[in-house]
Structure 1
Amino acid sequence: MVPGGRREAHGVVPGAGRFGAPGPALVWLLAAACGGSAAPHTLAAAPQAEEACRPAAARADRLADVGPRGELILASGRRAVLSGLHWPDAPEIDAAARSWLLAFRGMPLVLTERGPEDRWGRRRADGIAGEAEPVDLAGGLVAAGLGYAGAGEAEALCRPALRALEAAPRAAGHGLWAGGPLAATDEPSLSARAGRFVVVEGRILHVGERSARTYLDFARRGEQGLTVTVQKRTWRILSEHGLSAATLRGRLVRIRGTVEIGRGPLIDLAGVEGIEVVEGERALRR
């Protein structure tokens, strides 16, 4: 059941416009099933990340409004952002995501906060809206293709299993996934997204280990494509979990991060959650 008691045809959530979403009950079941567990390729979090992700006691509130970039403005006067969600940068999808959240305005909301306040006085929180058919808000946005699973400005991705909910919109080409996954060899598309958070798929062709950082190259020599830099500490953690130069070379991976432009498109891996080995899934569409 959707807000207001109406059951929408074809499982489309009100406010999503042309961006389809699964029914709220399904969203809740999917997100609840994976919300606290590790995804298949998730690496163990560092102790400081575990502390930042430790959940507080749940509390009740109501959604009063939605501010810029998905800020939850609550009836209590407090403000929060959804944990585990990277808000979309594209204006059209930003508007659709905001409309999706506004469908829950005035409804009961259970918040489980994680970590300290950010510099704007907001808490990161898991948000469950509604009572008869509760909806995981972050999970619903990800499942509708209206948000990426990501740490945002937090130190760690506290709900890595939300990444599993990207599979359906990615396969259907909904929302953020329109046109299929962004390819690591698509230099024009990557460059056009400079300064924006992206999720990129590609096969690592070369691994260059240096004293301060490691370089993962996705394009052949003389061709343009993505380069990922991995700082020494992150590379050490990856290596401890079996992701070394030898095991990564030739593997199909998914990278999350913000595109920068150097000699070509570049992503500096923010942490171990920024890379997933997806070998065994369907081949990347060219």
Structure 2
Amino acid sequence: MSRSFVPAVGCLGFALAILPAAAAPRIAPETCQASILREDRIDAVGPRGELVLASGTRAILDGIHWPETEPEAAQAAAHLAGFRGRGLAISQRGETDRWGRARIDAVAEPASETDEPSDLATGLVVAGLAHADAGESDLFCRIDLIAPEGQPRLARRGVWREPVLDARDGSALATQAARFVVVEGRIVSVGERAERTYLDFVRRSAEGLTVTVTKRTWRIMRERGLTAATLRGRLVRVRGRLEVRRGPILEIASADMIEVLEGERALTR
């Protein structure tokens, strides 16, 4: 295909039918506002899921964490490359990142009359080829990407082929330093401080996970009914990049990166 941009006929129409639900934010809608939809096509797929579009835009899909392991990274790239030549309806969210890449939502036009439009981020998550992730943002605009993880997680497919890490297993967690992880465990104590709140999964922090929550994110969690009193003893799933200091530490920037897995006060999704 030539690098010149050729609009996809009807591309915006089918995207409008599915993107409002897909991109609906959980809180503060004004900060999740995306740009007006426009048409484009994938010209190439680069390292770590970078999309080179026919219009010349360099972009990454919003709301996902690209696989850090093989063969999942190669499979994810091949999955996106399969959409080359098909019309995309895209909208940009926020400013470009430090590498000049736009964060986008992208929906591909149907391959045939019997097919459905394809949200690219959702397709990767359903295939087990990406995790839902807010990244460094304290607001997660693609909350709809968390529920589709259930099937590949149960099937142990793709990025879920290894079991979810146990928050009480400090030794196993220590081997994952500087990597994106998904961890499950029961919170045994909550320590509220002026600038941070600490969620501990073991009595001695060196032996298991400690999750740190920023002041702003803790306020949002409290507004949702997730307080120190309601979180103690609860089974949760958390995700993010792991650090190892005195023990394993994971900082939650977005309140949606902690899921309550049981009980009447579980997050409504």
| TM-score band, normalised by shorter chain | 0.7 to 0.9
| CA deviation string 1:6-58 (max 9, x = no partner) | xxxxxxxxxxxxxxxxxxxxxx9xx86951446xxxxx53x4xx444202111
Q: 1:254 to 1:34 in 2, by over 3 A?
A: farther
SS at match of 1:268: strand
Structure 2: how far apart are the matches of 1:34 and 1:218? Answer: 35
How many pairs does the alignment contain?
244
Structure 2 spans left out of the alignment, 5+ residues: 1-14, 265-269
1:253 to 236, 239, 246: 236
Structure 1 spans left out of the alignment, 5+ residues: 1-27, 39-43, 282-286
Partner of 1:241: 224
Q: 1:119 to 1:161 in 2, by over 3 A?
A: same
1:130 to 88, 109, 125: 109
- 1:167 and 2:183 correspond: no
2:22 to 9, 13, 35: 35
1:71 to 34, 50, 69: 50
Structure 1: how far apart are the matches of 2:62 and 2:34? Answer: 10
Q: 1:153 to 1:271 in 2, by over 3 A?
A: closer
SS at match of 2:74: helix
Runs of 4+ residues deviating >6 angstroms = none
Structure 2: how far apart are the matches of 1:147 and 1:105? Answer: 19
TM-score where L is the length of structure 1:
0.78
1:141 to 124, 134, 141: 124
SS at match of 2:71: helix
SS at match of 2:128: coil
Q: 1:176 to 1:151 in 2, by over 3 A?
A: same
Structure 2: how far apart are the matches of 1:222 and 1:162? Answer: 31
Structure 1: how far apart are the matches of 2:234 and 2:97? Answer: 36
Partner of 2:177: 194
C-alpha contact 1:117 1:123 (8 A) present in aligned 2? yes
Structure 1: how far apart are the matches of 2:244 and 2:185? Answer: 18
- 1:158 and 2:145 correspond: no
Structure 2: how far apart are the matches of 1:76 and 1:247? Answer: 50
SS at match of 1:233: helix
SS at match of 1:91: coil
C-alpha contact 1:116 1:123 (8 A) present in aligned 2? yes
The alignment's C-alpha RMSD in Å is 2.3
C-alpha contact 2:136 2:253 (8 A) present in aligned 1? no
Q: 1:259 to 1:222 in 2, by over 3 A?
A: closer
**Cα shift at 1:220:** 3.6
Report 1:76-225 matches (<5 A). Answer: 76-131=55-110, 132=112, 133=115, 134-221=117-204, 224-225=207-208
